[in-house]
Chain A
Amino acid sequence: MSDGRQVAQAYVELLAEDPEAESALAIARGRLAAGRRLRSVRRVRVFELTGTLPARADMEGLFHRSTRFYNPAKERCTVRASERDPAPFAPEEALVLVLDRGLERRPAGERWWKHETGEKVEVREGTVWALAFEPGEDAAARAGELAELRDRRHGLFANPHFQDWRPAAGGTPPWPWLERPRKRGKEDRP
Chain B
Amino acid sequence: MSGARVAVVQFPGVNCEAETVRALARAGLEAEVFRWTRPARELAAFDAYVLPGGFSWQDRVRAGALAAKDPMLDELATRAADGAPVLGICNGAQVLVEAGLVPGGSDGPARGTGPDERVQLALARNRMPDRTGYHTRWVWCRVEETPCPFTRGLEPGTLLPLPVAHAEGRFASAKKGRLESLVEAGQAPLRYSRPDGALADSFPDNPNGSEAAVAALCNARGNVLALMPHPERASTLGQVSRTMGGDWGVRRDRALAAADGSAFGDGPGMAFFHGLAQHLGGVPA
Contact = CB atoms under 8 A, between A and B. Distances in A.
Interface of A: 19-20, 23-24, 27, 31-32, 100, 102-103, 108, 149-154, 156-157, 159-163
Contacts of A31: 69
Given A19-B60, A150-B118, 4 more contacts: A20-B60, A151-B117, A156-B69, A163-B122
Contact of B172 (A27, A149, A161): A161
B58 A19 contact: yes
Nearest to B77: A152
Which secondary structure dominates chain B's binding surface?
Answer: loop
A83 B125 CA distance: 31
Given A150-B118, A161-B120, A27 B113 contact: no
Contacts of B98: 149, 159
Contact of A161 (B74, B113, B114, B173): B173
B99 interface: yes
Nearest to B57: A23
23 contacts: A19-B58, A20-B58, A20-B61, A23-B66, A24-B61, A24-B66, A27-B66, A100-B125, A102-B127, A108-B132, A149-B98, A149-B119, A151-B100, A152-B117, A153-B117, A156-B61, A156-B65, A156-B69, A159-B65, A161-B121, A161-B172, A161-B174, A162-B172
A175 B62 CA distance: 26
Q: Report, nearest first, the 8 A-B pairs whose CB atoms are least far apart.
A: A162-B124, A161-B122, A151-B117, A162-B122, A20-B60, A159-B122, A31-B69, A23-B60
Contacts of A149: 65, 98, 119
B73 interface: yes
Contacts of B172: 161-162
A150 B125 contact: no
A98 B60 CA distance: 14
Contacts of A100: 124-125
Contacts of B119: 149-151, 159, 161
Contact of B73 (A19, A20, A152, A163): A152
B111 interface: yes
A23 B36 CA distance: 15
Contacts of B23: none
B68 interface: yes
Given A27-B69, A152-B69, A103 B57 contact: no
Interface string B160-199: 0000000000101110000000000000000000000000
B60 A152 contact: no
Contacts of B60: 19-20, 23-24
Given A159-B98, A161-B120, A152 B68 contact: yes
A32 B65 CA distance: 13
A130 to B, nearest CB: 14
A159 B73 CA distance: 18
Nearest to B127: A103
